[in-house]
């Protein structure tokens, strides 16, 4: 099995405070990979480095065998690397449907001039975007709130909108930052179903979470503690590791 994502020897520090120290880890193609660790372990920093919001002081990130360390966020997105945020980032003044239409950005191609002129190509494209959004609403159970402003929805549903929007962008790797935070049990179940569905469609998923029930769906788990990977393996193996219990699970 080939590695979709390969993080090599990544170190990062903020004003002399070392946050990541020589982190190595891989995400094999088609798997759900978990990344856990106590607060302040450097998970978010690592996430920002993988998705391109932060350039590491040292080390490289390889994606599909290509060094993407210097690529911008949209460039990585075009290669299929997408992410969600710890607090859901919906486009709050757009409806749910419009949020999903915005998710079609990479799949469509009309430019500024075509948009201004309202040419038939641009209008047809809008219709296509609308159809895609409607279909996604049905698949992810958002039809009931389709025409509501996304910013007015409760946090759990915003999370689902964010995820559905990312799914429309045809990711090959989806990085999810604490996707179950703020969700009720029913919404967590909905989320898990969504993740399984995406994974079955071939999307590799990288999951950062505190929620052990959620991380249990991961086939492979990395444990990050004070900027270093202290354990890697199956969820059961990692759970049994003495260092992990000390650092994280025991508390």
Partner 1 sequence: MRIKRLVFAVVLVALWIAIPAFASRSVVDMLVWTGLYTIAGLGVSFLLGQCGIVSLAQSVFFGIGAYASAYCATQFGWMAPAGFLVGMVVSALIALAVGWPVLRLSGYFLALATLALAIIGHVMFLEWDWLTGGTLGIGGIPALDLFGFALNTPQRFYFLVWPLAVFVLCLHRNLLHSRTGFAIRAMRDAPAAAQVLGVDTRVLKVKMFILSAVLGALAGSLFAHYVTFVSVDSFGVDRAINFLLLAVLGGATTIFGTILGALFITVMPNVLSRFGDIHGVLFAASLILAVIFLPEGFGGALRRAFVRSEPKP
Residues that bind partner 1 (CB under 8 A): 51, 53, 72-74, 77-78, 82-83, 85, 89-94, 98-99, 101-106, 108-112, 114-118, 122, 125-126, 129, 151, 162, 165-166, 169
- Quickly list H helices, the chain: 43-51, 73-78, 96-102, 112-117, 120-139, 155-168, 185-200, 212-215, 235-240, 242-244
**Beta carbon of residue 198, minimum distance to partner 1 (angstroms, whole number):** 16
Q: 174 vs 229, which CB is nearer to partner 1? A: 174
Q: Closer CB to partner 1, residue 49 or residue 90?
A: 90
Give me the DSSP letters along 176-194.
Answer: EESTTTT--HHHHHHHHHH
What is the nearest approach in angstroms of partner 1 to the Cβ of residue 104?
7
Task: List b or e across 151-179, with b for residues whose CB sees 16 or more CB atoms inside 10 angstroms.
Answer: eebeebbbbbbbbbbbbbbebbbbbbbbb
Both structure tokens of 34: 């978990």
HSE of 52, CA atoms in CB hemisphere, 13 A:
19
Query: How far, in Å, CA of 33 to CA of 220, rounded?
Result: 5
**For partner 1, which is the closer residue by CB, 136 or 221?**
136
Residue 159 CB, nearest approach to partner 1 (Å) = 12
- Per DSSP, 149 falls in state B
Q: Label residue 238 exposed, middle or buried (CB < 10 Å: 0-12, 13-18, 19+).
A: buried
Whole-number Cα distances in Å, 75 to 43, 70, 169, 218: 22, 10, 13, 27
Give whichever of 194 and 221 is closer to partner 1, judged by the CB atom.
194
Least CB distance to partner 1 at residue 93 (A): 6
Residue with Cβ nearer partner 1 (43 or 239): 43
> Nearer to partner 1 by C-beta: 103 or 179?
103
Shortest distance, position 192 Cβ to partner 1, whole Å:
22
CB of 213 to partner 1, least distance (A): 26
Nearer to partner 1, 51 or 180 (CB): 51
Q: How far is the CB of 151 from partner 1 (least distance, A)?
A: 8
Tell the burial category of 55 from Cβ atoms under 10 Å away from its Cβ (0-12, 13-18, 19+). Answer: exposed
């Amino acid at each position: 099995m080939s590695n979709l994502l390969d993080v090599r020897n990544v170190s990062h520090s903020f004003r002399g405070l070392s946050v990541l120290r020589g982190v190595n880890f891989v995400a094999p193609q088609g798997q759900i990979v978990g990344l856990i660790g106590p607060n302040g372990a450097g998970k978010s920093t690592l996430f920002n480095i993988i998705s391109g919001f932060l350039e590491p002081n040292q080390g490289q990130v390889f994606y599909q065998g290509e060094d993407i360390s210097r690529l911008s966020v949209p460039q990585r997105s075009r290669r299929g690397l997408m992410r969600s945020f710890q607090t859901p980032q919906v486009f709050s003044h757009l409806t749910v449907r419009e949020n999903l239409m915005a998710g079609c950005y990479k799949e469509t191609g009309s430019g500024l001039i075509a948009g201004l002129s309202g040419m038939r190509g641009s209008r047809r494209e809008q219709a296509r975007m609308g159809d895609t959004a409607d279909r996604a609403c049905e698949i992810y159970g958002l039809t009931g709130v389709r025409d509501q402003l996304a910013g007015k929805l409760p946090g759990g549903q915003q999370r689902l909108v964010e995820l559905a929007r990312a799914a429309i962008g045809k990711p090959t790797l989806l990085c999810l930052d604490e996707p179950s935070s703020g969700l009720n049990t029913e919404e967590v179940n909905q989320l898990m179903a969504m993740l399984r569905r995406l994974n079955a469609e071939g999307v590799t998923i990288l999951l950062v979470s505190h929620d052990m029930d959620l991380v249990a769906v991961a086939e492979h788990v990395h444990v990050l503690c004070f900027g270093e990977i202290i354990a890697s393996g199956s969820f059961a193996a990692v759970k049994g590791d003495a260092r992990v219990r000390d650092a994280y699970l025991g508390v």
